[in-house]
Each structure stands twice: as C-alpha cells, then as structure tokens.
Chain A
Amino acid sequence: AQSVTQLDSQVPVFEEAPVELRCNYSSSVSVYLFWYVQYPNQGLQLLLKYLSGSTLVKGINGFEAEFNKSQTSFHLRKPSVHISDTAEYFCAVNLDTSYGKLTFGQGTILTVHP
C-alpha cells in the first residue's frame, strides 16, 4: 500500500522569503503525484501535478515541485511567498492502477508573516 509523509506539520516564513514544503511517498508501483492547497472553509485546489516526463513541474501561483524517484520525494517550492499563500498544503499520490483514489499526506500549514 502506498503512503505519503509530509515532513513538516507547520512552516512559518516571512513574506518574500523562499519556502520548501517536503513530501515523501512510498509505493512499489508507479504513481502520479500532486500538491493541493486548501484555504479556510474551502475545498482543495490543485497547485500542480506530476504524471510523467520532466521531473520539474510548474504550477499555479509561482509554485513548482521536483519529482525525485530515487529519494521518493516530491517537494514543493516557491522562491518568494506572499501573505496570500497562507493556507494548508497537501501532497497526494495516485496509483496508476487505482484511478480515482488519492492518498493524502497529513498536510502542512504554511503561515506567511509580514
């Protein structure tokens, strides 16, 4: 069975500083990888996805992530954060044999301070 570990439950950072949110997964088969963001009292919004091809993927709002197969990681980065990036971020995986089922990490609360 696959699992997803988000290594930091909370990440505080100052505005305009860079940030990295870490995600590791375990799976014995090929996976698709995702990062979602959740603002208070809202559903999940897809930031970016890795399905195949280039290991560096770019998403919305200036976020990017790098898929590292040897380290089974999919860390999310942003070079300069804004106050509006304050939210909870979820890493998720999907097995190519189990369509429709996402397995999520526990989430990382990103707080951007002025």
Chain B
Amino acid sequence: KAGVTQTPRYLIKTRGQQVTLSCSPISGHRSVSWYQQTPGQGLQFLFEYFSETQRNKGNFPGRFSGRQFSNSRSEMNVSTLELGDSALYLCASSLRSGGSRSYNEQFFGPGTRLTVL
C-alpha cells in the first residue's frame, strides 16, 4: 500500500505570494492532519480534516487554510507569505475509524519544504 504523498517536495516563493500544498493520504484513510516544522518552534499542529470538514485547528493566523476533498485528499493554502512561513510542512493521515475511545495512529508523508525569500 502506498504511503502518504505530498507535492511538491520543494517550493521557493517570495513574500506576499500565496502557495498551495497537496497531500494524498494512504488509501482508506479518512483523516488528514497538517503540521508545520521549524527549527525555532518545532512541530506545530495546523489543522485536521475529516469527511471534508475541519475538525481541529491549531493556533495559526487565518492566512493558513485548508480543505479536504471527497476522496480524502487535502490541500493547505498559505496566503500573503511571510519570511517566517519558511518551514517543512508535514501532513499525516489516519483511519479515524470511529468510536469515542478509538485511536488510529498517524502516518506521515515526507513533507513539503517551503522557502520564502
């Protein structure tokens, strides 16, 4: 079974531009979470999507947004890029099979490295 794929792997943008990153989850996985990784702040949760709805959101400004499609693929968008948005963006998928006490582990993709100049 193929793993989580993220495209593109590398991106270079300039300040003020916007960017869209894509994540394809493992087949059958219905939940997609996004994380930002920087040397200073470490790994921080951005948001989670399940059944095309945002279920959880981290503490990021509204410039960061996302969506999920009916096939569970997800995109995240960052508008009006700032230098501080340079980071590795990771997405993770999980089954989210249901049940209030159930938990399905997250599988991570290789990430998209965004550089803002």
Contact = CB atoms under 8 A, between A and B. Distances in A.
Interface of A: 32, 34, 36, 41-46, 49, 51, 90, 92, 94, 96, 98-107
A99 B56 contact: yes
B109 A43 contact: yes
Contact of B31 (A36, A42, A100, A106): A100
Contacts of B4: 43
A103 B45 contact: yes
Contact of A100 (B43, B94, B100, B107): B94
Nearest to B113: A41
A18 B31 CA distance: 37
Interface residues of B, number: 27
A96 B32 CA distance: 17
B54 to A, nearest CB: 10
B101 interface: yes
Give the top 9 A-B pairs by smallest Cβ distance, nearest first: A100-B48, A43-B108, A104-B43, A44-B108, A43-B110, A101-B56, A100-B33, A106-B42, A101-B45
Nearest to A100: B48
Nearest to A98: B56
Given A43-B109, A43-B111, A45-B108, A99 B45 contact: no
Given A43-B111, A44-B90, 5 more contacts: A46-B106, A51-B103, A99-B31, A99-B96, A101-B45
7 contacts: A43-B108, A43-B110, A49-B105, A96-B101, A99-B55, A102-B43, A107-B42
Interface in B68-117: 90, 92, 94, 96, 100-101, 103, 105-111
A74 B103 CA distance: 18
Residue from B31, B94, B105 with most neighbouring chain A CB atoms (10 Å): B105
